[in-house]
Structure 1
Amino acid sequence: MYTEDQLRRRERSRWTKVQIILAPIQFVVFLISFALVLRYLATGEGYLIATISIWIKIALIWALTITGMLWEYDMFDHYFMAKEFFWEDVGNLIAIITHNLYFVAQWMGADSRTVMWVMVFAYVTYLFNAVQFVVRGINSARQRRSLRQAASQM
């Protein structure tokens, strides 16, 4: 997964802590917003609160993307699309583009139900991307534990 140098860089990067804090917040906002969007689609009620939750979710995905790019630079000396982080960046790019389709749909004058369906699609892409990051995080934690264990046995 990571070289020893990259693990040291990861531990030194202030953006690691920012990502660790923002990611779960974004996930909770996603769950709430997804529920509010689905509620609106099912009942026609709660458009304003669903819209506010969408704005918060989009702001958070941008915050995580920007701080993630700074983290990626600390780790791999590339702000985006480092070969070691390529698929995570592709997933994030798809998720952020689909989230921003919200603004395109609004600008084009789409009706409220269409806008909400755009967000359902965006949230599905986010969910796939989130799973990818969770898997990477689990594998990274295993690698760090393994390296600590090997070092303690020396």
Structure 2
Amino acid sequence: MLYNEEERIRRDNTKWTLVQGVLAPLQFVVFLVSLGFVLNCLLYGTYENAASISVVIKTVILCLIMVTGSIWEKAVFDKYLFAKPFYWEDVVSIFVVFLHLLYLFVYFFDFLSVENQLFVALLAYFAYVVNAVQFLFKFKQARDQNSKNFSGEVLS
């Protein structure tokens, strides 16, 4: 069971659930646009500035969703990170944030060539997709759990 009854009530009553519900799809749209720019730059040498700036924007949104997600986790599970039901999602999220921040480091300090900077971004994006799949699986679990009441009967 993903949520006990108290956690489900807290989840449904906190404003942070809505915030996550808005930021997650927004982040995905920004990811898709940015991925397009990054791939275009790597394959055709075009949109270099757009690619670089889009990864910065994606990273800012990721950090925002990470902070608000931690607040959500505290509101629902009374832990800012690594609550039992989301432990592995949080572990991967930390890795995703690390890779995005690594991109910011190599970008702002001009540490690597633009091409290599964008390869760092692609690595961060791959980790983000893995993490997004984890969260989609949890979302499905929560939806399945919500379709049943706590006595095991299916609600109509």
More deviation, 144-153/68-77: 144-153
Q: Distance in 1 between matches of 2:59 and 2:23?
A: 13
User: For residue 105 of structure 2, what is the amino acid of its counterpart?
Assistant: V
Quote the residue 2:79 is aligned against.
78
List, as ranges, runs of 4+ consecutive aligned residues in structure 1 with deviation greater than 3 Å: 148-153
The 3-state SS of whatever aligns with 1:45 is coil
Quote the residue 1:53 is aligned against.
54
Deviation at 1:50, TM superposition (A): 0.8
| Matching residue within 96, 121, 142 for 2:123 | 121
Q: Distance in 1 between matches of 2:88 and 2:46?
A: 38
Deviation at 1:40, TM superposition (A): 0.2
User: For residue 150 of structure 1, what is the amino acid of its counterpart?
Assistant: E
Deviations 1:73-93 (A, max 9, x none): 011111111222211101111
**Compared CA separation, residues 111 and 17, structure 1 to 2 (3 A):** same
Quote the residue 2:9 is aligned against.
8
User: For residue 145 of structure 1, what is the amino acid of its counterpart?
Assistant: S
Structure 1: give runs of 5+ residues left out of the alignment.
Answer: none
TM-score between the two structures when normalised by the length of structure 1 = 0.93
Quote the residue 1:102 is aligned against.
103
Q: Distance in 1 between matches of 2:34 and 2:105?
A: 19
Aligned residue pairs, count:
153
Deviation at 1:104, TM superposition (A): 2.3
